[in-house]
Structure 1
Amino acid sequence: MTAARVWSVTSTTPTEDDARAIARAVVADRLAAGAEFSGPAMSVFWHLGELGEGKEWRVTLRTSAAVCDRLAARVAELHPWDSPEVTATPIEWCLDSYAEWIERTTAASE
């Protein structure tokens, strides 16, 4: 198996406006080729010594292997929470044309 060329970076935010702001900023910076956000979704979590529950918006970003770390760092920098969820998952398979578009788009950020 070859190394993943395309990565999916995901985070959650407290509001739709926060999700949109992160999505627009990282796509404008060419750290992500595209973004989707959806919600709200209900979340259950442990925070500050208590069981919590609330609504969150999910942001999913598509990027290249070359800038994945920079994208994750930028999401964390833009995020309103001190310790946000920011995860990255390799896309094991996609069309070559899709991977090439993502690599071309994000190469402009380098």
Structure 2
Amino acid sequence: MNEPQPQALLVFTAAPDREAGMQLLKSAVVQHLAASGQVIQAGNVFWHLGELGTSEEWQVTLRTTRDRYPELEAHLLANHPWDNPEVMYVTIGGGSPEYLDWLKREAATSS
């Protein structure tokens, strides 16, 4: 038996500072590309150009729907200060029905 695909997604990117993260988040929510999100400071360890690096970044987490993801991804890439930013998502496998209904309504295409 095939279950329907979950429609809610948790989308991640990172920004170099709080202001850039908040700008990405706010612009996405204002356009209803995402229903909500947070910007949280985080330490980072990564490989870049063959060298191990560390930094402080600002993790941007957004909640959206599968239908809105392509537009949200395009928006994040077009407005991001980095040339090749992380933009990825995981499927939200469940949650309270009321919250998930709210998410779908708020991330709906605006008229």
TM-score normalized with structure 2 length:
0.90
1:27 to partner: Cα distance: 0.3
Higher helix proportion: 1
CA RMSD of aligned residues (A): 1.3
| Structure 1 unaligned regions, length at least 5 | none
Residue of structure 2 equivalent to 1:97: 98
Matched, 1:53 2:47: no
AA in 1 matched with 2:45: V
Matched residues in 2 for 1:108 and 1:69: separation? 12
Alignment of 1:48-87 (within 5 A): 48-87=49-88
Q: Which amino acid aligns with 1:96?
A: P
Q: How many aligned residue pairs are there?
A: 109
TM-score (norm 1): 0.91
Amino acid corresponding to residue 5 of structure 2 in structure 1:
A
Shift of 1:28: 0.5
1:20 to 2:22 alignment: yes
Q: Is the 8 A contact 1:31 1:109 kept in 2?
A: no
Give 5+ residue unaligned stretches, structure 2: none
